[in-house]
Amino acid sequence: MGEPLTVGIVGAGKISAAYAGTLAQLPGVRLTRVADLDAGRAAALAADLPGVLPVPPDELLTSADVDAVLNLTVPRAHATVALAALAAGKHVYGEKPLATGTAEAATVLAAAASAGRTVACAPDTVLGTGLQTARASLAAGDIGTPVAATAFMVTPGHERWHPSPQFYYEPGGGPLYDMGPYYLTALVHLLGPVRRVTGLASTPRPTRTTLDGVTFPVEVATHVTGALEHASGALTTLMMSFDAWTGRLPRIEVYGTEGTLNVPDPNGFAGDVHRFTGATQEWTKLPDLAGYRDAARGYGVADLARALRTGTPPRASADLAYHVLDVMESLLSAATTGTTTEVASTCTVPPLVPLAADPDDA
């Protein structure tokens, strides 16, 4: 297998502990350093990670024992940190979205190409057994030709649980940019890239309030609904909301000429996949057919390490993340103009993940 990919975390916020815990269990990567503008947060994260040093961000970027930067900063800083890491000769794996907009994201892709370095991007949840089993079922023709899908996510808002939720309501946030990447990345895996979109968006509440009583402005649409036309011809109905308490609609469902596939929450790695066929008139729970078993946040970083060792593209590729960002940007543009918007980009759908314990076995 060779030497593990050494990784430094920039951004020691809420999600960083989940990544760090996973990386510590995977043989293909080794976490070496952690940095944050708040030195106390970096120190607190490193305290639970033997051999990991808390350092200032600039020092992490120039560290010889960091091959790749895991960028866990807030969305508005994603491109800035990625560009700095690439300029320092590092590979990058970033949290979603790739950037706050396609123009900014394009500078990251250009910098990566110029530096000869690889950029990968969350979500990696699509690499687990849930979504990959659904994808394997579609590839086997279990429900015939896919003709349509639904994707549905509602919550009353992240301020009800997050200690510092303001960034969820700034550019790069909102339900579409925060949760949309999970659903849209899953849909691209299942149905292929998106050709054009139309939609509507609203902001019913102009302010939100934190758990400790601080009221702050909402700068983005918090309820987005739209229709997507995939290049395959399949049509998806999408709804993303921070303005609804709950619902009973499936997270994702795919409708084919011979049946229906019920897909688990793409914000998780596993979950049951159920198939209905017209021939049997019954729902059947499928066994795990593909995907990384028992995966968690950080498997995308390990998949990046596998890709670098084998000279293949990472499955959580920057091209896929750019296309998802383009779809989201196009959807909001369509909502503003009241028109159907063509999606300028496309992407290569990553190969199916074989049923494996970790990326080194894939």
The alpha carbon dihedral of 184, 276, 232, 332 has a sign of: negative
What is the H or E stretch that residue 261 is in?
strand 259-263
Contact 274, 262 (CB under 8 A): yes
Stretch 118-141: mean pLDDT: 98
> Strands 259-263 and 252-256, how do they pair?
antiparallel
Nearest Cα neighbor of 197 from 85, 99, 54, 338 is: 338
What is the H or E stretch that residue 154 is in?
strand 146-154
Can you give the pLDDT at residue 266? 97
Band the pLDDT of 172: cuts 50, 70, 90. confident
Cβ-based neighbour number of residue 123 at 10 Å = 25
Stretch 171-176: mean pLDDT: 92
Can you give the pLDDT at residue 267? 96
Stretch 56-64: mean pLDDT: 97
Cβ-based neighbour number of residue 82 at 10 Å = 30
Mapping DSSP to helix (H, G, I), strand (E, B) and coil, where does residue 313 land?
Answer: coil
303: β partners:
none
What is the H or E stretch that residue 176 is in?
helix 174-191
CA-atom Rg of the chain in angstroms: 20
Nearest Cα neighbor of 273 from 260, 283, 282, 286 is: 286
Stretch 48-77: mean pLDDT: 96
The alpha carbon dihedral of 208, 210, 214, 220 has a sign of: negative
Asked if pLDDT for residue 228 goes beyond 80, the answer is: yes
Query: What is the edge-to-edge ordering of all strands in the sheet holding 146-154?
Result: 282-285, 274-277, 259-263, 252-256, 146-154, 235-241, 223-230, 194-202, 341-342
pLDDT digits (tens, 9 = 90+) for 68-110: 999 999 999 999 999 999 999 999 999 999 999 999 999 999 9
Can you give the pLDDT at residue 360? 72
> Strands 53-54 and 29-35, how do they pair?
parallel
Range 304-312 contact pairs with CB under 8 angstroms and sequence separation of 24 or more: 304/5, 304/68, 304/91, 304/93, 304/118, 304/120, 305/4, 305/5, 305/28, 305/29, 305/68, 305/359, 306/28, 306/359, 306/360, 306/362, 307/118, 307/120, 308/5, 308/91, 308/118, 309/1, 309/2, 309/28
User: Rounded mean pLDDT of the chain?
Assistant: 96
Stretch 195-215: mean pLDDT: 97
The DSSP 8-state label assigned to residue 268 in this structure reads S
Q: Which two tokens stand for residue 79?
A: 């491109």
Asked if pLDDT for residue 362 goes beyond 70, the answer is: no
CA 210 to CA 23: how far, in whole Å?
31
Band the pLDDT of 356: cuts 50, 70, 90. confident
Cβ-based neighbour number of residue 331 at 10 Å = 29
Contact 239, 253 (CB under 8 A): no
What is each CA distance from 42 to 8, 47, 82, 192, 288, in whole angstroms?
11, 9, 19, 39, 38
Can you give the pLDDT at residue 5? 97
> Strands 207-209 and 215-217, how do they pair?
antiparallel
Instruction: Say if residue 123 is preceded by a cis peptide, omega within 30 of 0.
Output: yes
Asked if pLDDT for residue 47 goes beyond 80, the answer is: yes
